[in-house]
């Protein structure tokens, strides 16, 4: 039933659509980065599409992606884009769904912000920026949402180690104090 | 006379506008400074994990800046380092008020990628519906009880806590743990229901029906409760849809959307239940929608008790089920299969998929990217609490500080799910 | 119970416990302990800002009606002694004088309440 | 005299914990009237509700009345995971509590970080403040919490809570220097 969504989309924006797929029950459309705003506005305002409800916005980091039982050509290499930003939309009236995916290169991880079209994406784009470092242009206030401002780096990227902590506060008499980076003075018995 | 003139001139300067005589009583007072107050992370109404920087003019909130993230426990990073089966304990702690629904959501997402969605034995589907509806009841009982307590109705809190204890006991008998069950597996459930679960559930539901009626008598027409809840934090239907609201909050605004009915999964098509809808979308409607949903859960559970068939509790697909114990100890192939299944986890074919269930707070979805190994490449949780918290800023605008408490109580923002 | 003894007992009881707390309780202050408590986060802005006058208004109105309620207690305790007539069964009759006395007292304050209500001093708008 | 618990500073406990008869009376009073500041963050909060609820009543031990201001509470119950962003808030609340104060780490996340070993979950609340009693379990059963409370009462009675030891050491050092 949602197959017609993809057909209507490719009919309307033949140049903007890189490719489409219908996998695991979801309709996916890969969109070029520059036409994203136009496609999204059309999807929301067109009565036949009526995608008025946002579902989620996240990003996939394809660094050293090697799917098993698949031809080696699908594995990731430096020439391929590293990030893919995914917007999932759904229509309350027609009850169909679509996922827009935008492929972004590693050095220029920029994407148009859909916060003006659907207010839910305001916070979800801030979360994607906080976790993956994707900069959304003309987003109302793009700053970290989960982590504290002093945090350096983007933790959900594949190259960020899981247990690399950047502590804010520690007890001063800890045996190993990560903030002061040295062992606490040995308590040589209180006088 | 000179200084009298200066005095009126000074007042003119200070008030800046009209002449002093024709100002009304209230306008004559000097405009007060706006005070910024922290409604911080460690506050009973904030469920301990949200900080709001409120700019208030006296008691009225002029501007608010919400800071979530105090309970960000890195669900995605942890699940990238765990096998598909090891992710279940992490999903328990996402929405820890209704943990079973998270388990079912994650299991469905992985089964969708493996193409097992419709092939599970009927008994597994019924068990999953039963434990999900019981978990939804504990979610609504805790939400209404806690927000009633925050408004002063401590008795309603204790009544609902008592009934939640009965449910916890039964869930503990089923899964072994009161809160963090980790009971569901990919392709089935860990073990079958206990022998006397039917009688216990009937006994438990009869008692809870009585408790719900008592609390409804106490709260529904209680003047204080209604004044604190009606008209507070109202949200229009269009705002609800545009800001991605789902679940009881969207239904309170009149958005007729329930995943169990609009995108039927599991055995919900065989069960009849109706979806309560509110009109004004304020806190009182959210309360009424949740109470009505409690009754619908009881109705579903009673139908499931009658319709549940017998049968295996795990799909007999070798990829995701353990070999029976007798084979494991006798044949080397089962031994290896058992070992590989435990150590490498369920091998999910490469691909990406998004599956969603009706959680306690609405559409709870898992977006999974699999790369063929036993560990998820990416496991994103679409959490309704995070979306509802983003609308809280608009809801508390122009309300009093005391109104933030019922609004946050009725949004039912759960820290684990909101900050993932 | 003579009033003097009651006062002495009251002051003595409170004094005893405050003294106990001061003597037995340990004293350990550090700069962090003296900062205002704002739910665990760094306090923003100073509490010395200019408040809206409404706070003061609501406090004064509360004081007025609270004292009115406080005056009702001694009246209620002495209510039986107020009546001069005894009923047929020997019990004191409901004293019209005592009741009207309190009625007048409350009526005066109801006028004040009506004025305050009309000027919308109680609400927050 | 109850289970001999090893405090992080063993030599402190041995040296300062000698108590006269007179000093035991206020401890006895403090033991049975603990005012808890429930620093609730995560899933253990649900279990804390059950512990404070009607079935596993906390009121039997005089610790039922939660105070939401550190000024009026002497038992800080850290219920749930403490993340790096929450660390400063926890330290500030602990500093603003009146002496003597005790801390219970409720659940394995507050004790050691549990199975959240990552960049944002702190490996235990004792990275920030000294903890007196740790409760294992995720979430711990209500009986475990009551058992921990009784264990804490023993420590209070013996005067071996961290803040009690620190107060006594400062007292002795202060009196020591005066001689």
Per-residue pLDDT at D21? 72
- The residue that leads in pLDDT, D56 or B171, is B171
Asked if residues A57 and A36 have their Cβ atoms less than 8 Å apart, the reply is no
The SS3 assignment for D77 reads: strand
- What CATH class is the domain D10-178? alpha beta
Give C56 to chain D, closest Cα distance, Å.
Answer: 25
Residue B43 has pLDDT above 60, yes or no: yes
| Side-chain half-sphere exposure of C37, counting CA atoms within 13 A | 17
D127/A167 Cβ within 8 A: yes
B142/D49 Cβ within 8 A: yes
Burial A36-63, CB ≥16 within 10 A → b, else e:
bbebbebbbeeeebbbbbbbbbbbbbbe
Residue whose entry in the numeric block shows the structure tokens 């609400």: C123
Query: Is residue C123 in some structural domain?
Result: no
Asked if residues B57 and D99 have their Cβ atoms less than 8 Å apart, the reply is no
Q: Considering chain D, what is the average pLDDT of its residues?
A: 84
What is the Cα–Cα distance from A50 to D3, expressed in whole angstroms? 68
D81/B73 Cβ within 8 A: yes
Which chain B residues are Cβ-neighbours of A118 within 8 angstroms?
242-244
Residue B20 has pLDDT above 60, yes or no: no
Q: What is the CATH number of the domain that holds C44?
A: 1.20.58.1610
DSSP B185-219: ETTEESSPPPTTHHHHHHHHHHHHHHHHHHHHHHH
Chain B, 356 to 385: residues with Cβ < 8 Å from chain A are: 356, 363, 365, 367, 369, 371-373, 377-378, 380, 382
Q: Which of B38, B52, B399, B408 to mutate to test binding with chain C, by most C CBs within 10 Å of its CB?
A: B38
DSSP B343-359: HH---PPSEEEEEEEEE
Q: What is the CATH number of the domain that holds A98?
A: 3.30.460.80
Structure tokens, D162: 């961290």
Model confidence at C25, pLDDT cuts 50, 70, 90, reads confident
Interface chains of chain B (3 or more CB pairs under 8 Å): A, C, D
Burial B369-401, CB ≥16 within 10 A → b, else e:
bbbebbbbbbbbbbbbbbbbbbbbbebbeebeb
Could you give all domains of chain B from N- to C-terminal order, each with its CATH number? Answer: 1-31 (no CATH), 75-419 (1.10.645.10)
Residue in C closest to D26 by C-alpha:
C24
The SS3 assignment for B309 reads: coil
Query: Is residue A190 in some structural domain?
Result: no
Residue in D closest to C33 by C-alpha:
D96
Asked if residues B69 and B106 have their Cβ atoms less than 8 Å apart, the reply is no
User: What average pLDDT does the segment B350-358 reach?
Assistant: 93
Give B41 to chain C, closest Cα distance, Å.
Answer: 6
Q: Over pLDDT 70: what percentage of chain C?
A: 91
Partner-chain residue, chosen from B40, B46, B400, that has the shortest CB–CB distance to C38 = B40
Range of the domain at C107: 3-118
Structure tokens, C38: 């704002």
Residue D150 has pLDDT above 60, yes or no: yes
Model confidence at D179, pLDDT cuts 50, 70, 90, reads very low
Per-residue pLDDT at D18? 58
C–A touching, 3+ CB–CB pairs within 8 Å:
no
Which chain C residues are Cβ-neighbours of B59 within 8 angstroms?
52, 54, 124
Partner-chain residue, chosen from C24, C27, C39, that has the shortest CB–CB distance to D26 = C24
Residue B52 has pLDDT above 70, yes or no: yes
Which chain B residues are Cβ-neighbours of C49 within 8 angstroms?
32-33, 35
Query: Is residue A180 in some structural domain?
Result: no
Burial D122-160, CB ≥16 within 10 A → b, else e:
bbbbbbbbbbbbbbebbbbbbebbbebbebbbbbbbbbb
* Exposed/middle/buried for residue B367 (C-beta within 10 Å: 0-12, 13-18, 19+): buried
Per-residue pLDDT at B3? 43
- The residue that leads in pLDDT, C50 or B80, is B80
User: What average pLDDT does the segment B48-55 reach?
Assistant: 88
Residue D138 has pLDDT above 80, yes or no: yes
Residue A151 has pLDDT above 60, yes or no: yes
D49/B48 Cβ within 8 A: no
What is the Cα–Cα distance from B354 to B365, expressed in whole angstroms? 7
Which chain C residues are Cβ-neighbours of D92 within 8 angstroms?
32, 35, 40-42
Instruction: Give the number of residues written for chain B.
Output: 420
- The residue that leads in pLDDT, D33 or B104, is B104
Task: Tell whether C29 lies on the interface with D, counting CB pairs under 8 A.
Answer: no
Model confidence at B137, pLDDT cuts 50, 70, 90, reads very high
Per-residue pLDDT at D1? 27
Rounded to the nearest 10°, the torsion over CA B387, B393, B398, B399 is 70
Structure tokens, A10: 């490719």
- The residue that leads in pLDDT, B226 or D8, is B226
Domain assignments of chain D as residue spans, ordered by start: 10-178
Residue B241 has pLDDT above 80, yes or no: yes
Asked if residues D107 and D138 have their Cβ atoms less than 8 Å apart, the reply is yes
Structure tokens, B24: 């009304």
- The residue that leads in pLDDT, A46 or B45, is A46
B58/C124 Cβ within 8 A: yes
| Side-chain half-sphere exposure of B124, counting CA atoms within 13 A | 24
Task: Tell whether D116 lies on the interface with B, counting CB pairs under 8 A.
Answer: yes
User: What average pLDDT does the segment B181-200 reach?
Assistant: 93
Query: Comparing C-alpha atoms, which of B216, B227, B363, B217 is closest to residue B294?
Result: B216
A168/D84 Cβ within 8 A: yes
A162/D118 Cβ within 8 A: yes
- Alpha helices by DSSP H, listed for D6-53, are 10-16, 24-31, 44-52
Q: How much is the ipTM here?
A: 0.86
Query: Comparing C-alpha atoms, which of B238, B249, B36 is closest to residue B140?
Result: B249
Instruction: Give the number of residues written for chain A.
Output: 191
Long-range contacts of C57-61 (CB under 8 A, 24+ apart): C57/C121, C58/C122, C61/C116, C61/C121, C61/C122
Model confidence at B58, pLDDT cuts 50, 70, 90, reads confident
Q: Which of D17, D83, D119 to mutate to test binding with chain A, by most A CBs within 10 Å of its CB?
A: D119
Question: What letter does residue B110 receive in the DSSP assignment?
Answer: H
Range of the domain at A51: 3-161
Per-residue pLDDT at B32? 65
Which chain D residues are Cβ-neighbours of A191 within 8 angstroms?
173, 176
Q: Considering chain C, what is the average pLDDT of its residues?
A: 83
Task: Tell whether D89 lies on the interface with B, counting CB pairs under 8 A.
Answer: yes
B93/D42 Cβ within 8 A: yes
Query: Is residue C90 in some structural domain?
Result: yes
Chain D, 20 to 39: residues with Cβ < 8 Å from chain B are: 39
Q: Considering chain B, what is the average pLDDT of its residues?
A: 89
What is the Cα–Cα distance from D22 to D25, expressed in whole angstroms? 6
Domain count, chain C: 1
Residue D8 has pLDDT above 50, yes or no: no
C32/D96 Cβ within 8 A: yes
Per-residue pLDDT at C36? 82
Interface chains of chain C (3 or more CB pairs under 8 Å): B, D
Per-residue pLDDT at D58? 85
Query: Is residue A181 in some structural domain?
Result: no
Structure tokens, D89: 């808030």
What is the Cα–Cα distance from D124 to D47, expressed in whole angstroms? 19
Determine which of B18-22, B257-261, C30-34, D60-64 has the lowest per-residue pLDDT on average. B18-22
Determine which of A29-43, B89-103, B247-261, C85-99 has the lowest per-residue pLDDT on average. C85-99
Per-residue pLDDT at B26? 60
pLDDT tens digits, one per residue of D84-124: 999 999 999 999 998 889 999 999 999 999 999 999 999 99
Model confidence at C3, pLDDT cuts 50, 70, 90, reads confident
Give A149 to chain D, closest Cα distance, Å.
Answer: 10
Query: Is residue A172 in some structural domain?
Result: no
Residue whose entry in the numeric block shows the structure tokens 């140049």: A15
Question: Per DSSP, what are the bridge partners of residue B355?
Answer: B366
Asked if residues D90 and D124 have their Cβ atoms less than 8 Å apart, the reply is no
Residue in C closest to D171 by C-alpha:
C26
Per-residue pLDDT at D11? 56
Give the pTM.
Answer: 0.89
What is the Cα–Cα distance from D97 to C33, expressed in whole angstroms? 7
Model confidence at A191, pLDDT cuts 50, 70, 90, reads very low
DSSP B16-73: -SS-STTS-HHHHSPPPPPEEEEE-SS-GGGTTS-EEEEEEETTEEEEEEEE--TT--
State yes or no: cis peptide before B253, omega within 30 of 0: no
What is the Cα–Cα distance from B261 to B251, expressed in whole angstroms? 13
What is the Cα–Cα distance from B406 to B229, expressed in whole angstroms? 7
Give A189 to chain B, closest Cα distance, Å.
Answer: 37
Question: What letter does residue D60 receive in the DSSP assignment?
Answer: G
Instruction: Give the number of residues written for chain C.
Output: 125
Query: Comparing C-alpha atoms, which of B299, B136, B371 is closest to residue A75?
Result: B371
- Alpha helices by DSSP H, listed for B115-196, are 122-150, 154-175
Question: Per DSSP, what are the bridge partners of residue A89?
Answer: A54, A98
Burial B172-189, CB ≥16 within 10 A → b, else e:
eebbebbbbbbbbbbbbb
């Amino acid at each position: 039933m949602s197959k017609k969504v993809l057909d209507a989309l490719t009919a309307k924006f033949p140049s903007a659509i890189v490719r489409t797929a219908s996998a695991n029950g979801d309709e996916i459309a890969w969109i070029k980065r520059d036409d994203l705003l136009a496609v999204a506005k059309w999807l929301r305002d067109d009565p036949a599409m009526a995608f008025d409800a946002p579902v989620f916005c996240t990003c996939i980091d394809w660094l050293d992606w090697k799917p098993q039982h698949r031809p080696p050509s699908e594995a990731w290499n430096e020439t391929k884009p590293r990030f893919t930003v995914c917007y999932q939309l759904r229509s309350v009236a027609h009850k169909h769904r679509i996922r827009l995916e935008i492929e972004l290169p590693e050095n220029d991880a920029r994407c148009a912000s859909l916060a003006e079209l659907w207010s839910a994406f305001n916070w979800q784009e801030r979360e994607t920026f906080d976790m993956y470092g994707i900069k959304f242009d003309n987003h109302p206030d793009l700053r970290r949402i989960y982590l504290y401002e002093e945090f350096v780096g983007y933790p959900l990227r594949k190259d960020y180690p899981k247990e690399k902590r950047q502590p804010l506060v520690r007890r001063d008499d800890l045996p190993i104090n990560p903030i002061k980076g040295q062992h606490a003075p040995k308590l040589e018995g209180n006088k | 006379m000179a200084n009298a003139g200066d005095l009126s001139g000074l007042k003119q300067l200070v008030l800046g506008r009209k002449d002093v005589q024709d100002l009304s009583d209230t306008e004559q007072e000097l405009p007060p400074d706006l005070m910024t107050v922290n409604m911080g992370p460690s506050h009973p109404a904030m469920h301990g994990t949200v900080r709001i920087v409120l700019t208030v003019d006296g008691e009225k909130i002029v501007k608010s800046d919400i800071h979530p993230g105090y309970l960000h426990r890195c669900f995605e990073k942890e699940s990238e380092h765990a096998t598909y089966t090891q992710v279940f304990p992490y999903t328990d702690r996402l929405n820890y008020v209704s943990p079973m629904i998270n388990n079912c959501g994650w299991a469905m997402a992985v089964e969708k990628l493996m193409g097992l969605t419709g092939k599970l034995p009927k008994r597994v589907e019924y068990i999953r519906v039963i434990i999900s509806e019981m978990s939804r009841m504990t979610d609504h009982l805790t939400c209404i009880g806690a927000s009633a307590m925050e408004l002063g109705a401590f008795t309603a809190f204790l009544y609902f806590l008592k009934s939640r204890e009965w449910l916890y006991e039964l869930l503990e008998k089923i899964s072994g743990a009161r809160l963090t069950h980790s009971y569901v597996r990919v392709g089935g459930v860990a073990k079958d229901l206990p022998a006397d679960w039917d009688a216990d559930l009937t006994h438990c539901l009869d008692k809870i029906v009585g408790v719900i009626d008592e609390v409804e008598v106490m709260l529904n027409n209680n003047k204080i409760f209604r004044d604190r809840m009606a008209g507070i934090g109202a949200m229009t239907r269009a705002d609800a849809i545009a800001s991605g609201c789902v679940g009881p909050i969207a239904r309170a605004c009149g958005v007729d959307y329930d995943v169990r009915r609009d995108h039927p999964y599991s055995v919900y098509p065989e069960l009849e239940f109706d979806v309560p809808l509110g009109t004004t979308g304020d806190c009182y409607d959210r309360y009424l929608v949740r109470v009505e949903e409690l009754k619908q859960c009881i109705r579903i559970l009673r139908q499931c008790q009658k319709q549940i068939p017998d049968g295996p509790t795990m799909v007999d697909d070798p990829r995701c089920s353990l070999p029976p114990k007798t084979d494991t100890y006798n044949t080397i192939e089962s031994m290896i299969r058992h070992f590989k299944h435990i150590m490498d986890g369920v091998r999910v074919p490469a691909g990406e998929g998004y599956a969603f269930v009706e959680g306690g707070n609405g559409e709870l979805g898992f977006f999974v990217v699999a790369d063929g190994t036993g560990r998820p490449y990416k496991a994103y949780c679409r959490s309704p609490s995070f979306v509802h918290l983003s609308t809280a800023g608009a809801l508390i605008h122009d309300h009093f500080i005391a109104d933030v408490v019922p609004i946050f109580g009725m949004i039912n923002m759960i820290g684990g799910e909101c900050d993932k | 119970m003579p009033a003097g003894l009651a006062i002495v007992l009251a002051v003595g009881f409170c004094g005893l416990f405050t003294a106990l707390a001061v003597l037995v309780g340990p004293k350990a202050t550090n700069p962090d302990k003296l900062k205002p408590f704002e739910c665990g986060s760094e306090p923003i802005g100073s509490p010395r800002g200019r408040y809206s006058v409404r706070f003061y208004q609501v406090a004064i109105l509360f004081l007025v009606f609270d004292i009115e309620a406080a005056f009702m207690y001694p009246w209620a305790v002495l209510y039986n002694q107020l009546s001069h007539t005894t009923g047929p069964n020997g019990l004191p009759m409901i004293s019209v004088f005592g009741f009207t006395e309190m009625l007048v007292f409350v009526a005066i304050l109801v006028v004040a309440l009506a004025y305050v209500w009309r000027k919308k001093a109680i609400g927050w708008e | 005299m109850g289970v001999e618990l090893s405090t992080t500073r063993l030599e402190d406990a041995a040296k300062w914990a000698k108590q006269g008869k007179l000093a035991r009376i206020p401890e006895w009073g403090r033991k049975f009237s603990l005012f808890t500041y429930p620093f609730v963050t995560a899933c253990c909060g649900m279990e804390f509700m059950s512990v404070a609820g009607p079935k596993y009543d906390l009121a039997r031990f005089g610790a039922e009345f939660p105070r939401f201001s550190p000024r009026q509470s002497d038992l800080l119950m850290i219920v749930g995971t403490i993340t790096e962003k929450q660390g400063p808030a926890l330290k500030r609340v602990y500093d603003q509590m009146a002496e003597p104060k005790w801390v219970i780490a409720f659940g394995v996340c507050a004790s050691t970080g549990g199975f959240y070993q990552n960049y944002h979950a702190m490996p235990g609340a004792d990275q920030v403040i000294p903890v007196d009693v740790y409760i294992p379990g995720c979430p711990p059963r209500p009986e475990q919490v009551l058992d921990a409370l009784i264990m804490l009462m023993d420590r209070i009675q013996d005067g071996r809570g961290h803040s009690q030891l620190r107060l006594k050491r400062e007292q002795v050092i202060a009196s020591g220097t005066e001689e």
